[in-house]
Amino acid sequence: MWETLLERTVREIFHDGTLRVTLPGGRRFTAGSGAPEIAVTLTDPTLPRRLVLNPDLGLGEGYMDGGLVIENDDIRGLLDMTLRNFAQGNRSRVLDLHNRLRRHSRSLGQWNPMDRARKNVAHHYDLSSDLYDIFLDDDRQYSCAYFRDPSDTLEQAQLQKKRHIAAKLLIEPGMEILDIGCGWGGMALTLAREFGARVHGVTLSEEQHAYATRRAAEDGLDDRVTFELRDYRTLDRSFDRIVSVGMFEHVGVPHYDEYFRHVNQMLRPDGVALIHTIGRTSPPGATSPFIAKYIFPGGYVPALSEMSSAFERQRLELTDLEVWRYHYAKTLNHWDQRFVAGMDKAKSLYDERFCRMWRYYLIASELTFVHGQQVVFQAQLAHRKDAVPITRDYLYTG
């Protein structure tokens, strides 16, 4: 039964490109037509059932565990074909039902009180520090870079991202800035070094906190930059500027009002906040089960309507909104290339299964930005409409 249901589902989805499938019992079928041609073999007899009941998780686990064998190990080709067909509207009744069920139950996975938020952050960000050195830039920017030119290196693009955000913050020397979810400290250190700010970063990751604190001391900036292992919700002070890059994806819809209430309370009357987050251009949805289980538990990519309604309720003015479309796809492609180049080191840190999981995550994320409805939102917020200039000219005249 499960093999029959799987074949029907695959035939409903794959039209653009040819997918040749060998089932665990040896039976074969072909879906779609034309180039490219990709052949997969299911060696795990439980995989047809798992792919039907939970396609996203079944596909990711099948590849990670070796029960799904792709000719020439072309996971990029398989995911590209799959997401391209989805983008063309090729769906299946089974997949649509699964997506509806995920949307109905999504709030349970996004409930992130302080103790759970700390555990979720540790799951991803407290992995071996050496892992991130393999694929990130020298500054360990783990968010979307800004490519002014296709030939930009990852290091150039990440520096351009930080300076672009700094321009939107309209920083003056001596200003006090809060960095919510400060990562390994690169943004905070740049704002202090290049713009004369005094920055306080907060993170829930012990690894990130230790690394960022050490960097501040080594760079001679620990008199202007401090890092704290702390939930932003426990802060009770105000700042001239608030910046948050790549952290809002971990908040969860049930906590959006709480998040923007704290931004409202901590931002001084003439202050400016910049929230940089992955977003979706579609209506509200649900997190990939594979990503939720293995990569970012508790995470969710917001629709603009979900995000904007929350800061509107907290009476924050939207003074600028910028949408980055393919920049994250380019960023993730750089990360994947670097991860592949450092695969031997990654295997020495973890194992083959972990490396397959990580590559699946990087490639699936990249291609979702190419074929799917994921983008990056940069929302500039303030208490007053006149907190920033009325044109964007100030961003490009520095």
Per-residue pLDDT tens for 182-196? 999 999 999 999 999
Q: DSSP letters of 47-97? A: HHHHHHH-HHHHHHHHHHHTSEEEGGG-HHHHHHHHHHHHHTT---HHHHH
Residue 387 is encoded by which pair of tokens? 């907190």
Of the options 3.40.50.150, 3.40.50.2020, 3.40.50.980, 2.60.40.3710, the CATH number for the domain spanning 114-395: 3.40.50.150
Name which residue leads in pLDDT, 247 or 119.
247
Average pLDDT of the chain?
93
| Averaged pLDDT for residues 100-105 | 59
| Burial grade of 214 (CB within 10 A; 0-12, 13-18, 19 or more) | middle
pTM across the whole model: 0.94
Contact 39, 23 (CB under 8 A): no
Give the model's confidence band at 108: pLDDT under 50 very low, under 70 low, under 90 confident, else very high.
low
Give the model's confidence band at 368: pLDDT under 50 very low, under 70 low, under 90 confident, else very high.
very high
What is the per-residue burial (b if ≥16 Cβ within 10 Å, else e) of 25-49? eeeeeebbeeeeebbbbbebeebbb
| Averaged pLDDT for residues 86-113 | 68
Supply φ then ψ for residue 228, to 5 degrees.
-135, 135
Q: How high is the pLDDT of residue 103?
A: 57
For the chain, give every domain's residue range: 2-109, 114-395
The H-or-E segment that residue 207 falls in is helix 206-218
Contact 330, 147 (CB under 8 A): yes
Distance CA 63, CA 42 (A): 10
| Averaged pLDDT for residues 241-261 | 96
Q: How high is the pLDDT of residue 46?
A: 96
Give the model's confidence band at 325: pLDDT under 50 very low, under 70 low, under 90 confident, else very high.
very high
Q: How high is the pLDDT of residue 158?
A: 98
- pLDDT above 60 (res 104): no
